[in-house]
Structure 1
């Protein structure tokens, strides 16, 4: 019986705390500058966009779940048909720490689960392939942003993949520089503008 009372009190205080938070929704759009490490690819430009929900618990801290689209990959440096695009649908959880209370400058960090939402084919920009790519990635990200009083937000992030991207039978790995297939990871700079309603 004592355990039920403890659980009840915990749920009650959690509900009160959440009810007192400032909640808002928003939309973010931006560009990616991405690459896959230890391949023969250069960085490529892509797009990103997200819907997010922000729960502001205090002047210094907010929690922001996000549903995001992110176009990543790499660009062939030798002008062949091997430019690579991987489109991810991501669920992310951003922790936002406001450096000065009631000011807009903030740091952010969190995890992201990314799924290649086009059934995992390698999409060559100028060609075709029957090869596949690892269907998901687990990433961590960090960045800095500024939120204006009227809801406009500017952000810059770096997102690092933690799961090896296995590009099955894709010959960007088979060049003469003896690159290590075990170290092929997503790395993406994201620059975006958002508006919070």
Structure 2
């Protein structure tokens, strides 16, 4: 199922690039403020980073598709636990330029787990870690906005709302706010 989904995403991106008026490649990095959502969880955000590559496929002067390939640090923490989940993420953003340089964006995100670790403290002096049973795949929906400068620099802000559960009982989902700075060649 996952191979079919990934194939469909790549096919759509490939078809879009055939009709693109202009294709630009770039890099981006930024700050993640991540947490998990679920039944009665008492958690604080994990501050992490994301870094990777982007391609913007201009279909019209006002509309483009922007696939990205990112390494992204997610998770959460509280006074006794730190959950670190790192992903390779593939967001595919539809961008609409309201005015020159300023865009709104939305689209799906497919994320594949590369590392998960839970550090814990018991009785303020005993600690340890183990690999929790976090799902290997996470699907989310992104919404955000950005500004593209004429010299190639851009910044974006986005929220990714996890749709699939990353852990059962309680049902737990990712959520991450991102601030990004990038450059298109």
Counterpart of 1:48 in structure 2 is 50
Structure-2-length-normalised TM-score: 0.81
Residue 20 of structure 2 contacts residue 58 of structure 2 at CA under 8 Å; is this kept in 1? no
CA distance in 1, matches of 2:36, 2:56: 31
Counterpart of 1:114 in structure 2 is 111
Counterpart of 1:185 in structure 2 is 173
- The alpha-carbon distance between structure 1 residues 32 and 98, as it changes in their structure 2 partners (threshold 3 A), is same
Aligned length: 163
Question: Where does structure 1 differ by over 3 angstroms across 4 or more consecutive aligned residues?
Answer: 17-20
Counterpart of 2:96 in structure 1 is 97
SS for the counterpart of 1:49 is strand
- The alpha-carbon distance between structure 1 residues 59 and 73, as it changes in their structure 2 partners (threshold 3 A), is same
Structure-1-length-normalised TM-score: 0.76
**RMSD over equivalenced CA pairs, Å:** 2.1
Deviation of the 1:148 alpha carbon: 0.4
Deviation of the 1:124 alpha carbon: 2.7
CA distance in 1, matches of 2:130, 2:42: 17
Residue 18 of structure 1 contacts residue 57 of structure 1 at CA under 8 Å; is this kept in 2? no
CA distance in 2, matches of 1:20, 1:140: 24
CA distance in 2, matches of 1:51, 1:164: 26
Which has more radius of gyration? Answer: 1
Matching of residue 134 in structure 1 with residue 135 in structure 2: yes
CA distance in 2, matches of 1:73, 1:41: 10
